[in-house]
């Protein structure tokens, strides 16, 4: 059976109010708003963007959705979880201040920001699983204390999973720090000593102190490395590479199992909106203005995270006339979709319904 995926064309150079109306139309078409009760806690899961990043979803784009949610429940809030790497999103205080600096202030979004895994990422709920990769997931507690979720995702490429979309936002983005460690734990990078400039930037981003300076270059201690990949992203000289082999597959499968544990909690009170605007090679954790790898496509939404991600990739590839995600990082991004379908997270078969009125 095919899942419905609603679609509206959009461009980021349109007026924010217009994009907001389009996102609102997608959200209302999904029917989640009708299921929200007055006492429900409603989590609007989003990535606020790293400091200096410009690709993230803009607060003005989601005000229409928020207005509709608030008509149903006053217990709505914007949320994300803290990062593994050291930076502006590794604790709740700086994380919220960063969100404010990107415009997610109460006067604009009208709802509070709650960082779901607490002050330093330790507040979690362990969910028993029967997965092939994990036996329990460690999810940020505020998400699992909520009654409904609107998963708002900026579609990007990704250094470890090839594509970062709804499955990643749900699986990795809703995980506590311990959950992120669990998903990343098998992927280890290596250093090309000839390319390394010994600038030490990667040392600041390593959450476990696994990178140490040697004579003329840095080294990575495999015993301490958790495989988060932050060193690869921040290295300006291409000196750090990933030992992919089968590890990217394992990470994507864990990510899908984590996503299933979150989706299962909400049952039919969760929906997914993907913003295919300023699609970049790397995710919004990269602290800079990244160029788009494809022309703006629009906004898609579904009750099925696998279907909405499959549709997002198909629309990007159709617009680009090629697979820009594979060009960015030679990673088989379809693993998360295939595995998600296998474990019951959703289906890759979808019916694309274009909305003309909004």
Inform me whether the pLDDT recorded for 288 exceeds 90.
no
- Report yes or no: 147 and 42 within 8 Å, Cβ to Cβ: yes
- pLDDT (mean) for 303-322: 98
pLDDT-derived band at 90, boundaries 50, 70, 90: confident
Is 247 part of any domain? no
Residues 235 and 153 in one domain: no
Grouping H, G, I as helix, E, B as strand and the rest as coil, residue 312 is helix
Domain containing residue 210: 188-242
Task: Using the structure block, give the residue that is written with the tokens 């993230």.
Answer: 56
Pair (63, 94) in one structural domain: yes
Residues 69 and 214 in one domain: no
DSSP 241: E
Q: What is the pLDDT of residues 121-140, one digit of tens each?
A: 889 999 999 899 999 999 99
Question: Domain check: are 33 and 119 in the same one?
Answer: yes
Indicate whether 261 and 322 sit together in one domain.
Answer: yes
Q: Is the dihedral of CA 51, 155, 137, 145 positive or negative?
A: positive
Share above pLDDT 90 across residues of the chain, in percent, rounded to a whole number: 81
Is-contact 188 134, C-beta < 8 A? no
Same-domain pairing of 232 and 333 = no
Place of tokens 């803009």: 58
Residue 186 has pLDDT above 90, yes or no: no
Concatenated DSSP letters for 227-259? ---HHHHH-TTS-EEE--TTHHHHHHHHHHHHH
Helix (H, G, I), strand (E, B) or coil at 8: strand
Q: Are residues 192 and 177 in the same domain?
A: no
Contacts with 194 (C-beta within 8 Å, 6 or more apart), sequence order:
none
Token pair for 58? 């803009």
CATH number at residue 29: 3.40.50.11440
Number of domains in the chain: 2
What average pLDDT score do residues 264-289 get?
95
Domain boundary among 207, 242, 277: 242
What six digits make up the tokens of 260? 């299933």
Q: What is the CA radius of gyration of the chain?
A: 19
Q: Are residues 106 and 157 in the same domain?
A: yes
Distance from C-alpha of 313 to C-alpha of 293, rounded to nearest angstrom? 13
Distances in Å between the alpha carbon of 121 and those of 118, 229, 342?
5, 19, 31
User: Do residues 93 and 212 both lie within one domain?
Assistant: no
* 329 falls within a domain: yes
H or E element at residue 156? strand 156-158
Q: How do residues 25-40 score in pLDDT, each as one tens digit?
A: 999 999 999 999 999 9
Structure tokens at 301: 């939404």
Say what the pLDDT of residue 146 is: 98
- Beta bridge partners of residue 6, listed in sequence order: 301, 353
- Note whether 170 and 313 are same-domain residues: yes
Indicate whether 63 and 90 sit together in one domain.
yes
Instruction: Tell which residue, 87, 82, 158, has the closest CA to residue 114.
Output: 82
Say if 225 falls within a structural domain: yes
The residues that bridge with 273 in the sheet, in sequence order, are 152, 301
Task: Provide the pLDDT for residue 246.
Answer: 52
Q: How far apart are CA 218 and CA 234, in angstroms?
A: 14
**Is the residue at 290 inside a domain?**
yes
Q: Are residues 167 and 314 in the same domain?
A: yes
Is the pLDDT reported for residue 250 higher than 70? yes
Closest CA to 152 of 268, 30, 317, 329: 30
pLDDT in tens, 200-243: 999 988 988 999 999 999 999 989 987 777 787 788 898 988 66
Report the CATH number at residue 224: 3.30.70.20
């Amino acid at each position: 059976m095919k899942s419905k995926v609603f679609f509206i064309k959009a461009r980021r150079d349109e007026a924010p109010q217009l994009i907001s109306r389009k996102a609102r139309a997608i959200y209302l078409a999904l029917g989640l708003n009708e299921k929200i009760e007055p006492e429900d806690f409603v989590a609007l899961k989003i990535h606020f963007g790293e400091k200096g990043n410009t690709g993230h979803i803009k607060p003005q784009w989601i005000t229409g959705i928020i207005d509709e949610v608030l008509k149903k429940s006053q217990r709505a809030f914007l949320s994300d979880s803290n990062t593994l790497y050291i930076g502006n999103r590794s604790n709740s205080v700086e994380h919220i201040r960063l969100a404010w600096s990107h415009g997610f202030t109460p006067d604009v979004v009208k709802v509070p920001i709650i960082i779901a895994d607490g002050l330093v990422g330790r507040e979690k709920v362990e969910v028993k699983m029967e997965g092939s990769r994990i036996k329990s997931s460690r999810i940020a507690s505020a998400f699992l204390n909520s009654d409904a979720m609107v998963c708002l995702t900026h579609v990007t490429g990704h250094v470890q999973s090839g594509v970062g979309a709804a499955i990643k936002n749900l699986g990795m983005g809703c995980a506590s720090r311990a959950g992120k460690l669990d998903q990343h734990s098998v992927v280890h990078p290596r250093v090309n000593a000839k390319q390394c400039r010994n600038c030490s930037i990667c040392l600041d981003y390593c959450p476990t102190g696994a990178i140490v300076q040697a004579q003329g270059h840095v080294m990575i201690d495999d015993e301490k490395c958790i495989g988060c990949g932050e060193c690869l992203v921040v290295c300006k000289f291409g000196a750090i590479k990933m030992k992919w082999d089968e590890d990217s597959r394992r990470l994507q499968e864990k990510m899908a199992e984590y996503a299933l544990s979150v989706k299962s909690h909400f049952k039919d009170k969760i929906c997914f909106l993907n913003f295919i605007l300023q699609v970049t090679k790397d995710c919004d954790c990269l602290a800079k203005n990244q160029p788009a790898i494809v022309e703006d496509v629009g906004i898609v939404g579904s009750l099925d995270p696998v279907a909405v991600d499959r549709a997002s990739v198909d629309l990007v590839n159709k617009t680009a006339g090629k697979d820009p995600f594979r060009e960015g990082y030679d990673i088989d991004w379809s693993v998360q979709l295939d595995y998600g379908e296998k474990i019951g997270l959703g289906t890759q078969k979808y019916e694309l319904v274009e909305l003309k009125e909004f």
